[in-house]
Structure 1
Amino acid sequence: MEIASKTAIVTGASSGIGASFSKALINKGAKVYGLARSTDKLNQLKEHLGDSFIGVKMDITDHDNIQQWIGTTFNTDHRPEILINNAGLGRFGDVDKLPLDDWETMIKTNLSGVFYMCRQIVPLMKENKNHCHIVNIASIAGKIGNPQLSGYNASKFGVRGFSESLFKEVRYDGIKVTCFYPGSIQTKFFSDADTESHSNMMQPEDVAEVLINILETPDNFLINDITMRPLNPKHPDEQ
């Protein structure tokens, strides 16, 4: 895909790898609709990225709002070619102690939100004469289960299965589907999980560079799964 002049949607765009994805796409000449819940963070990002970034306040767990926004934003003359389903969160704890709200929030955000976006965007991509690309951001936790991560694992394993099915469903419509399985990235995600982030984690801009490489593959060439990890994941102070 030639990214220049393409229209992209990035969920969870206001910080972390979502902000890096948005910047990388704009640097390649794309127009980016960045979806997030924080208007302030979106406005700050727009100041940095310029007019090619359009911030959209959106809760991706609300299917009706997604449907309304897509219906009023896109039409036969203006369709998105790129969808990056990046929004996600983690809540951790033993299965018998994990609050129900935490479980339901993870499933709605990490899994249902991906489905809601694809449900509305795929029909537009099917009508697009250009090849299109959907990238779903799962996690290494979508491949490997760990204690205290039952809910997060379940949601990300779900993204893995959804992505595999969607890839086979839409490949003959000229739509690529790629699922990312990143390990630890130095973002606010780990601070929210009461875990210290550090410089040996992957950097958001490096993950964004992988995204660009995936998007720029030839039209009849697909990388549907990609796993990435830090070579040395230990804290720099550890021996």
Structure 2
Amino acid sequence: MMRVDGKVAVVTGSGSGIGEAIAKRLSKEGAIVAICDLDEANGNRVADEILSTGNQAAFFKLDVSKEQNMKETIDKVVEKFGKFDIMVNNAGIGKAGTVIEQTEADWDLMMNVNAKGAFFGCKYAVKKMLDLGTKGSIVNIASVAGMVGVFNRAGYCASKAAIAGLTKSVASDFAEQGIRVNSISPGTIESPWIKKILSDNPEPEQARIQMQQRQPIGRMGTPDEIANLAVFLASDEASFITGSNMVADGGLTAR
């Protein structure tokens, strides 16, 4: 079933990890995908891999923390593909540290990329959808870190909580215009960031076991499992869902 057939989707941070999985799944379900990332090499790689399947995609270099860059990128996507239906605000960054250890620069970086990036993405997606008369869908990638106090992640928790709150506000403001806005809060996912955390740990195998055991399901999630949920929320199958924060965490927050 082609659940988003013919729709044009913008996915930020889609050069790797969860964003890459979402972009490829949207393409598999029939969407034309704008691969947006700061990493030109990986962004072009993902776009080329989608093109090699016979589906449409293009890479756009994007720094989500820059308002004008966000506006211009969405304009370019519409100029190239002629429409705009789905926005996935996935780009994110994390730095370890307690509130004592983290610097102002650490805080600003996470707020600029995670919270401000989602704000700019929502702002210019909504504006363009209203201009085009599109009944679109916006999916913001938050985190269970925005719902619980994750050890040693003060700024990251705050930035992801901001995304969940932003989602509900934008959903409330534009529901009557037919624009749906939802967020996904993943648990621990096998992503490039998690791989880096494990590689930096003096006992990586023990750290991996501890990460796996946090989830009652007994393992970490995969990017594809988050992509499955993102595509559902982007599709018309989720037509009565807006303002929701969907948790996909292997039961982590159930305890």
- Work out whether the TM-score is over 0.5: yes
Match of 2:245 among 225, 232, 238: 225
Instruction: Tell me the secondary structure at the aligned position of residue 88 of structure 2.
Output: strand
Q: 2:240 is aligned with what amino acid?
A: F
What is the 5 A alignment of 1:89-100? 89-100=93-104
C-alpha distance in structure 1 between counterparts of 2:77 and 2:246, whole Å: 31
Q: Which structure has greater helix proportion? A: 2
Instruction: Tell me the secondary structure at the aligned position of residue 8 of structure 1.
Output: strand
Which moved further from structure 2: 43-52 or 217-226? Answer: 217-226
Instruction: Tell me the secondary structure at the aligned position of residue 206 of structure 1.
Output: helix
The question of 1:125 aligning with 2:129 is answered: yes
Instruction: Tell me what 1:26 maps to.
Output: 27
Instruction: Tell me what 2:235 maps to.
Output: 216
Query: 1:155-185 deviations in whole A, cap 9, x for unaligned?
Result: 0111111111111001111000011111011
Is the 8 Å Cα contact of residues 232 and 238 (structure 2) preserved in structure 1?
no
Shift in alpha-carbon separation, 1:10–1:104, aligned structure 2, 3 A: same
Post-superposition offset of 1:220:
4.2
C-alpha distance in structure 2 between counterparts of 1:185 and 1:72, whole Å: 32
What is the 5 A alignment of 1:20-169? 20-50=21-51, 52-74=56-78, 78-169=82-173
Post-superposition offset of 1:189:
1.3
Post-superposition offset of 1:187:
0.8
C-alpha distance in structure 1 between counterparts of 2:14 and 2:95, whole Å: 20
Q: 1:210 is aligned with what amino acid?
A: L
Instruction: Tell me the secondary structure at the aligned position of residue 127 of structure 1.
Output: helix
State how many pairs are aligned.
232
C-alpha distance in structure 1 between counterparts of 2:252 and 2:19, whole Å: 24
Instruction: Tell me the secondary structure at the aligned position of residue 64 of structure 2.
Output: coil
Shift in alpha-carbon separation, 1:183–1:32, aligned structure 2, 3 A: same
Instruction: Tell me what 1:4 maps to.
Output: 5
Instruction: Tell me what 2:220 maps to.
Output: 201
Query: 1:105-127 deviations in whole A, cap 9, x for unaligned?
Result: 00000000111122212111123
Post-superposition offset of 1:192:
3.0
Instruction: Tell me the secondary structure at the aligned position of residue 74 of structure 1.
Output: helix
Aligned-pair identity (%): 28
Shift in alpha-carbon separation, 1:218–1:147, aligned structure 2, 3 A: closer
Q: 2:156 is aligned with what amino acid?
A: Y
Instruction: Tell me what 1:236 maps to.
Output: none
C-alpha distance in structure 2 between counterparts of 1:94 and 1:47, whole Å: 40
Structure 1, unmatched stretches of 5+, are 234-239
C-alpha distance in structure 1 between counterparts of 2:92 and 2:67, whole Å: 16
For the aligned residues, what is the CA RMSD?
2.2
Is the 8 Å Cα contact of residues 187 and 252 (structure 2) preserved in structure 1?
no
C-alpha distance in structure 2 between counterparts of 1:179 and 1:205, whole Å: 16
